[in-house]
Amino acid sequence: MSLRDILLWPDDRLKTPCAEVTELDAVKDLVTDMFETMYTAPGRGLAAPQVGVLSRVFVMDAGWKDGDMTPLALINPEIVEVSETTAKGPEGCLSIPGVTAEVRRPTCVKMSFTDLAGARQERVFEGAEAVIAQHEYDHLEGIVHFDRLSPEAGKALKLQYQMQR
């Protein structure tokens, strides 16, 4: 296992949609490194493009900071369904440290994905898990939380981030 450097916005790799994983064995070490990097950062989710790998992989653990470790790796995730109910809440990002954005997202999302054993899974995420899963999925599409804001709010937060760097 090894820590990986987390890319910082506006690195172009954070704006690039990722390629599907075709060889599961090729990402097993990546996933291990991503968990170590995420826990050390400390974050609740981390997508492969945030460590410079443009593959459709993300890891998450919504409960570890509260004592319940529930690590989950999602390979080639797809959003199957989202709830009509939405909520607005604060989101941070390891690639945009020090800036929190108020993002509106569906409160529930169903995703299908391949697990590390190669089995296709389907899971419903709610609450904090739903936010984390959607945030990390966005990274695979080349989207950061700034992109989910109104143009004015996004511009203001980008300026805030650039001023503190």
Q: Which of 129, 136, 141, 152 is catalytic?
A: 136
Per-residue pLDDT of 6-53, as tens digits, reads 999 999 999 999 999 999 999 999 999 999 999 999 999 999 999 999
Residue 136 is a catalytic residue:
yes
Per-residue pLDDT of 96-150, as tens digits, reads 999 999 999 999 999 999 999 999 999 999 999 999 999 999 999 999 998 999 9
CB 112 within 8 A of CB 119: no
How many domains, in total, are found in the chain?
Answer: 1
Is the pTM of the predicted complex or chain greater than 0.75? yes
Domain that includes residue 56, residue range: 12-164
**Residue type, position 99, single letter:** V
CB 50 within 8 A of CB 41: no
Q: What share of the chain is helix, strand, coil (3-state, %, to 5)?
A: 35, 30, 35
Tell me the CATH number at 93. Answer: 3.90.45.10
3 state DSSP class of 104: strand
pLDDT on residue 91: 96
